[in-house]
A = this chain, B = another copy of it.
Amino acid sequence: MNKFIVSTDCVVFGRDKNNKVNLLLIKRKSDTFDGYWALPGGMVEDFESVDDSAKRELEEETGLSTVFLEQLYTFGDLGRDPRGRVVSVAYYALLNIGDLELKPDTDASDAQWFPLNNLPEKLAFDHDKIITTALNRLRGKINYFPLVFELLPEEFTIEEVREIYSDILNQDLDRRNFSRKLKSTGCLIHLDKKKKVLVGKPPTLYKFDYEECEENGFNITL
């Protein structure tokens, strides 16, 4: 009987106050990859499913329990962890950072949000590969699944949605065409409220209509 350690790693995407997408990394304080930035994660325990383990680790890091979390891919190469045979099930999570206070884990000296276009060069283990996989998944899936609303607050403006799409896809999107496409999904609830702004015309606030989406799906191909 061959038994392995099974761990989870989580690619956590968070939206900051400037409506930019960031990635959460932990600075390792450990005998392996000391000082390197790494994805949050940890070992799966006996009493929990792999999914629950990822959820637990994420809660311990962020204090949030209701974030979107989805399995990404499993990394099981020999030698991916110098300490021994570790199979890692990777997840990705989406959340709105808000005023979230990070609680660094015990084996980490620091936790930090990095903007997508400014990630550290060298990461621990095969975590760069995991991040690339997560980004590709995200870029593909936002076309047919309402992932970006997991990053936004409950009430948002169309411009905020567009900026998130732009940031993730790393390309400009025409403001008018985007607005039309987003509305044509039929999954927006128009609120009779405007967002308070410092300058310019106050934009309309919307909520995402999860029921409608459940019934008729979501598609916004850019």
Q: How far does the alpha carbon of A48 sit from the alpha carbon of B87 in the complex, in Å?
A: 12
CB-nearest residue of chain B relative to A75?
B50
In the complex, per-residue mask of A1-35: 1 if CB is within 8 Å of any chain B CB, else 0: 11111100000000000000000000000000000
Do A73 and B76 have beta carbons less than 8 Å apart? no
Complex interface: chain B residues within 8 A of A74 (CB): 50, 71, 74, 89
Residues of B within 8 A of A47 (CB): 78
Q: Determine whether A128 belongs to the interface, using a CB cutoff of 8 Å to chain B.
A: no
Distance, CA A49 to CA B87, complexed state (A): 9
Is the CB of A44 closer than 8 A to any CB of chain B?
A: yes
A107 at the interface (CB under 8 A from B): no
Query: Interface digits, A119-152 against B, CB 8 Å rule (1 contact, 0 not)?
Result: 0000000000000000000000000000000000
Q: Decide if A77 is an interface residue (CB 8 Å cutoff).
A: yes
What is the chain B residue whose CB lies nearest that of A50?
Answer: B76
Q: Which residue of B lies closest to A78 (CB)?
A: B49
Q: A49-B77, A50-B76, A74-B74 are in contact. Are A87 and B6 (CB under 8 A)?
A: yes
- Tell me whether A212 is interfacial, beta carbon within 8 Å: no
Chain B residues closer than 8 Å to A172, beta-carbon distance: none
| Interface pair B44/A4, CB less than 8 Å apart | yes
**Contact indicator per residue, chain A 166-198, by CB within 8 Å of chain B (1) or not (0):** 000000000000000000000000000000000
| Residue A51, interface by CB 8 Å | yes
66-85 of chain A: CB within 8 A of chain B: 71, 73-74, 76-78, 85
Chain B residues with Cβ under 8 A from A51's Cβ? Answer: 76-77
* A–B pairs, 20, beta carbons within 8 Å: A1-B5, A2-B44, A2-B45, A2-B46, A3-B4, A4-B4, A4-B5, A4-B6, A4-B44, A6-B87, A46-B85, A48-B78, A49-B76, A49-B78, A50-B76, A50-B77, A51-B76, A74-B74, A76-B89, A87-B89
Residue positions of A touching B, CB distance < 8 A: 1-6, 43-51, 71, 73-74, 76-78, 85, 87, 89
Q: Identify the 8 closest CB pairs spanning chains A and B, nearest first.
A: A50-B76, A3-B3, A74-B74, A49-B77, A4-B6, A74-B89, A2-B46, A49-B78
Given A51-B77, A87-B87, 14 other A-B residues pairs in contact with their CB atoms under 8 A: A2-B44, A2-B46, A3-B4, A4-B5, A4-B6, A4-B44, A44-B76, A44-B87, A48-B78, A49-B78, A50-B74, A51-B76, A74-B74, A76-B89
